[in-house]
Structure 1
Amino acid sequence: MNRRNFLTTTAITALSAAPMTRLFTRGYRPAADPKLTMLRGNVGYYTNRGGTIGVYLPGGMPEGGVIVDTQFPDAANTLLAMLKEKGKLTQFGVLANTHHHGDHTSGNTVFAGLAGTHVSHERAKQNLIDSLAQKGEEGSVALPSTTFDGSWSTNLPDGKESISLNYFGKAHTGGDAVVHFENANVAHLGDLLFNRRFPYIDPEAGGNIVNWPNVLKDIRKAYNKDTLFIFGHAADDYPVVGTSADIKAFELYLKSLRRYVKKETKRGTSLEELKKKTTIIPGAPEWKFGEKLRDVNLEVMYKQLKR
């Protein structure tokens, strides 16, 4: 399965005015064929432009479904039109945001008025408020009406599914939630996992690249070998769905990055020298897509270890 609707480095789309996000460009290109793919237990995902959307579509019911993340308004409207055409849903029980970044929340307004509950981690909501304020765009994106600190859960109206949102600590941001469809055993990780692509890390929003591997380890322990995971992004020709083995692989990448940067700092390598000499992170050769984000990873880790 091709993943052609994720982060690229060819177009500029700033997600906030924070200094870290100015160090690189974040662009998004639309999928040639926006697609809704069902997995199991009425849970699936939608790919178009931005972070992967998760869906729960209860069979035979006009309401009570779930939307996880919303990409951008155009992509969200395309999904809503697809669902209406298929006669799937007119109302939703829950809209959930895994975190605050614009490629996951800019389409909130499309779904927020159709959802009974709009939920995120409390730090994610505050990050979204701060991000919009920094850009002078207050009120342009629907904010979660319900927040939580550690976990939040609910039973869905069809009586066949329950969802839980769980916070495992600072990683990609300071407010990343894992959304678990418990009966289907499918979990949406948001941007806690970039499949074989250099990840974006947002320290200004509470992200912690050193703690990120610990979060991934805890996630692997919290779910089981049968859990399917939906990822926020993936490199070309890599899927946005996988298993705990993919989480462990990404965990290894982050640990390898830390080990490599720590070794180079002890040698006296400057940050600019490090960026210039690095193409692949030793120990994690699969991560080789997205040069600008690779440099950001090196810089964030370098500064973290220099503290």
Structure 2
Amino acid sequence: MHRLTLLFLIGFSTTINAQRFKDVTITTEKLTEHIYMLKGAGGNVGVSAGEDGVFVIDDQFAELTDKILAVIKDISDKPIHYVVNTHWHGDHTGGNTNMTHQGVKIIAHDNVRKRLEETPKRDNTMRSKEALPVITFNDKLSVYMNGEQVYIFHVAHAHTDGDSLLYFTKSNVLHTGDTYFQGWYPYIDLNSGGSVNGYIAAVKKGLSLINNDTIIIPGHGNISNKKEYTTYLNMLETLKTTILSEIKKGQTEEQVATNSELTKTFDDLGYSWNFINSEKIRRTFYKSLK
């Protein structure tokens, strides 16, 4: 079932509607005394709930807002003060307008607001003003809520050009956004400023903050840990070395894309999935590294 939820990864299509989300269930996983992960259709949602109120990371699709709010209400009867968007894609920002109507303040990197403001949706309409972050930052930001500092920092040209990682300093929980797809090849959105080198740097940055006890909320996938995260970095660096070698040999994009031996080791481990299969990851690495 989890792989099926990834069919909703890019939420730009007008075919997405309430009917499609009718049967989606929002599940809750308690990670620490006051940190939770919610899963539904789209990016994993992080929730901090405590005496100061509720702090949310990402909000999936607009059609799921009522379900998400209902689950959060079961966790805490206190108001939601902030939603942080880890990047601009619709499966992480689709609920922004609805959250704004609830009195929630949206926080994101400067480039998230810029892309939401300037990029038409698939139906060629622009997003409403209420969908835009009202607090933005360039490099890093701290939010102090529920007894701890939440360290929010930008990682440049990774999944996109506006990615943020969030580290709960006391709870020892890291939310990576889509700079980590637990168990799957990453989606590196080259058209939105993403890059292989930036993606690898983002994982290294995340690893520099954590220890063996850290709980990791990936953008997509299951709860993870430092060991899995380190293995993921090894996969990325191995693919980079492999594809760079082919580029230096003068191989074309088509030659690399059709050479399944280049990624066979990781294909066999199950990293290939419906949206980013082995051919697509080879093309992505080639285009970015070329």
Query: Is TM-score (shorter-chain normalized) higher than 0.5?
Result: yes
Query: Following the alignment from structure 2 to structure 1, what is the Cα–Cα distance between the partners of residues 196 and 57?
Result: 24
**Contact 2:173 / 2:217 at 8 angstroms: preserved in 1?**
yes
Is the aligned partner of 1:53 residue 2:45? yes
Equivalent residue runs for 1:224-303 within 5 Å = 224-234=211-221, 239=222, 241-278=223-260, 281-282=263-264, 284=266, 285-294=268-277, 295-303=279-287
Mapped contact 1:280–1:288 kept (Cα < 8 A): no
Q: Which moved more, 1:67-76 or 1:289-298?
A: 289-298
- Specify which of 176, 192, 200 is matched with residue 213 of structure 1: 200
Classify the secondary structure of the residue corresponding to 1:177: strand
1:72/1:105 contact within 8 Å kept: yes
**Equivalent residue for 2:125, pick from 136, 139, 147:** 136
1:72 aligned residue (61, 65, 72): 61
Pairs within 5 Å for 1:167-246:
167-234=154-221, 239=222, 241-246=223-228
Note if contact 2:26-2:71 (Cα within 8 Å) is conserved in structure 1: no
* Residue pair 1:6, 1:51 contacting (<8 A) in 2 also: no
- 8 Å contact 2:10–2:91 — kept in the other structure? no
For 1:128 and 1:149, the matched residues in 2 are separated by 16
Q: 1:130 to 1:277 in 2, by over 3 A?
A: same
Measured in 2, the distance between the counterparts of 1:12 and 1:167 equals 21
Change (3 A) 1:87 1:248: closer
108, 114, 117: which one pairs with 2:105? Answer: 117
Q: CA deviation at 1:282?
A: 5.0
Which secondary structure state, in structure 2, belongs to the residue aligned with residue 41 of structure 1? coil
Pick closer, same or farther for the CA change 1:3–1:13 going to 2, 3 Å.
closer
Q: What code does the residue aligned with 1:154 have?
A: V
Contact 2:10 2:89 in 1 (8 A): no
Shift of 1:133: 6.2
Q: CA deviation at 1:204?
A: 2.0
Which has the higher mean CA deviation after the structures are superposed, 187-196 or 291-300? 291-300
1:102 to 86, 90, 111: 90
Cα displacement (A) at 1:226: 2.1
Structure 1 counterpart of 2:225, one-letter code: T
Identical columns (%): 25
| AA of the residue aligned to 1:300 | T
CA distance in 2 between partners of 1:267 and 1:291 (Å): 30
CA distance in 1, matches of 2:264, 2:156: 26
CA–CA distance in structure 2, aligned partners of residues 218 and 83 of structure 1: 30
* Structure 1 position 55, deviation (Å): 0.7
C-alpha RMSD of matched pairs (Å): 2.7
Report the count of equivalent residues. Answer: 281
Contact kept? 2:43, 2:220, Cα under 8 Å? yes
Structure 1: give runs of 5+ residues left out of the alignment. 17-27
User: 1:47 Cα deviation (Å)?
Assistant: 0.6
Look up the SS of the partner of 1:233 in the other structure: coil
What TM-score does the superposition give when structure 2 sets the normalisation length? 0.85
What's the CA shift for 1:30?
7.9
List per-residue Cα deviations over 1:205-242 (Å, max 9, x = no partner). Answer: 211112321221122112333221101112xxxx2x11
Larger RCO (CA within 8 A; separation ≥ 6): 1
Name the one with the larger helix percent: 2
Q: How far 1:247 sits from its partner (Å)?
A: 1.9
TM-score (structure 1 length as normaliser): 0.81
Q: Post-superposition shift, 1:181? A: 2.0
Long gaps (5+) in structure 2: 14-19
1:87–1:38 CA distance, 2 compared to 1 (3 A): closer
How many Å apart are 1:87 and its aligned residue? 6.9
Deviation per residue, 1:235-288 (Å, 9 max, x gap): xxxx2x111222212211211221222222344433223323327725534353
